[in-house]
Structure 1
Amino acid sequence: MPDRTRFLGKTFVAAGAAAALALATAIPAAAAAPATVEQDVAQLYQDVIDLYDGLPADALRNVDRLIDSPVPRVGQRSRAADGPIPGCTEGSLLTYANKLAAQLTPLEGQALDALSGLSQLYVQGVTSDKAPQVFGTDGQYTGRATATIDKLRGFWDIESWNIQLVAWKGTDLGSQAKMAQTFSLGLAPAKVKAAAALATKVLYEVPVLQGGRNPLITLNAFSAPAGSLGGKRVALGDGLLDTVNALGFDDVSVESVIGHEYGHQVDFAHENYPRNESSEMGPDAYGGYFVAHAKGFAWNARTQQEVTYLDASIGDCYHSHGTPDQRKAAGAWGEKQATTQANPNRVIPSATMIDKFQKVYPKLMPPATAPQAAVAAAHG
Structure 2
Amino acid sequence: MRTGTGQLGRALAAAGALAALAVATAVPAAAAPADPSTVEQDVAKLNQYVTDLYNGLPPTALRDVDPLFESPIPQIGRQNRTTKGPIPGCTEGSLLTYANKLAAQLTPLESQALGAVSGLSQLYTQAVATDKTPQVFGTDGQYTPRATATIDKLRGFWDIESWDVQLVPWKGTDLGSVEKMKQTFGLGLAPAQVADAAALATKVLYEVPVLQGGRNPLLTLNAFSAPADSLGGKRVMLGDGLLDTVNLLGYDDVSVEAVVGHEYGHQVDFAHDNHPLNESSEMGPDAYGGYFVAHAKGDAWDARLQQETTYLDASIGDCQHSHGTPDQRKAAGAWGEQQATGQDNPNEIVPSATMIKNFQEEYPILVPPAGDPSTVAAARG
Contact 1:286/1:334 (8 A) holds in 2: yes
Matched, 1:120 2:122: yes
Structure 1 residues 66-111: Cα deviation after superposition (integer angstroms, max 9, x where no partner): 0111101111213312100111000000000000011111111110
Structure 2: how far apart are the matches of 1:62 and 1:79?
A: 11
Task: Show the counterpart of 1:48.
Answer: 50
Structure 1 residues 26-60: Cα deviation after superposition (integer angstroms, max 9, x where no partner): xxxxxxxx870010000001100000000001100
Task: Show the counterpart of 2:322.
Answer: 320
Contact 1:44/1:199 (8 A) holds in 2: yes
- The code of the aligned residue for 2:125 comes to V
Structure 1 residues 165-194: Cα deviation after superposition (integer angstroms, max 9, x where no partner): 000000000000000000000000000000
Q: Which has the larger radius of gyration?
A: 2
Structure 2: how far apart are the matches of 1:75 and 1:117?
A: 6
% identical equivalent positions: 79
Alignment of 1:236-255 (within 5 A): 236-255=238-257
- The code of the aligned residue for 1:260 comes to H
Task: Show the counterpart of 1:180.
Answer: 182
Of 206, 209, 213, which residue of structure 2 is paired with 1:207? 209
Deviation at 1:367, TM superposition (A): 6.7
Structure 1: how far apart are the matches of 2:169 and 2:226?
A: 14
Aligned residues: 341
- The code of the aligned residue for 2:119 comes to G
- TM-score, normalisation: structure 1: 0.88
Contact 1:256/1:291 (8 A) holds in 2: yes
SS in 2 for 1:69: coil
Task: Show the counterpart of 1:289.
Answer: 291
Structure 2: how far apart are the matches of 1:69 and 1:118?
A: 15
Deviation at 1:201, TM superposition (A): 0.2
Deviation at 1:318, TM superposition (A): 1.2
Contact 1:68/1:77 (8 A) holds in 2: no
Deviation at 1:335, TM superposition (A): 0.1
Structure 2: how far apart are the matches of 1:154 and 1:368?
A: 39
Structure 2: how far apart are the matches of 1:117 and 1:307?
A: 28
SS in 2 for 1:36: helix
Change (3 A) 1:338 1:330: same
- Structure 2, unpaired ranges of 5+: 1-34
Structure 2: how far apart are the matches of 1:281 and 1:318?
A: 14
Contact 1:223/1:264 (8 A) holds in 2: yes
- The code of the aligned residue for 2:336 comes to G
Structure 1 residues 105-149: Cα deviation after superposition (integer angstroms, max 9, x where no partner): 111111000000000100001010001110000000000000000
Matched, 1:111 2:130: no
- Structure 1, unpaired ranges of 5+: 1-33
Structure 2: how far apart are the matches of 1:300 and 1:128?
A: 34
Change (3 A) 1:156 1:369: farther
Deviation at 1:64, TM superposition (A): 1.3
Task: Show the counterpart of 1:344.
Answer: 346
- The code of the aligned residue for 1:331 comes to G
Contact 2:78/2:119 (8 A) holds in 1: no
SS in 2 for 1:165: strand
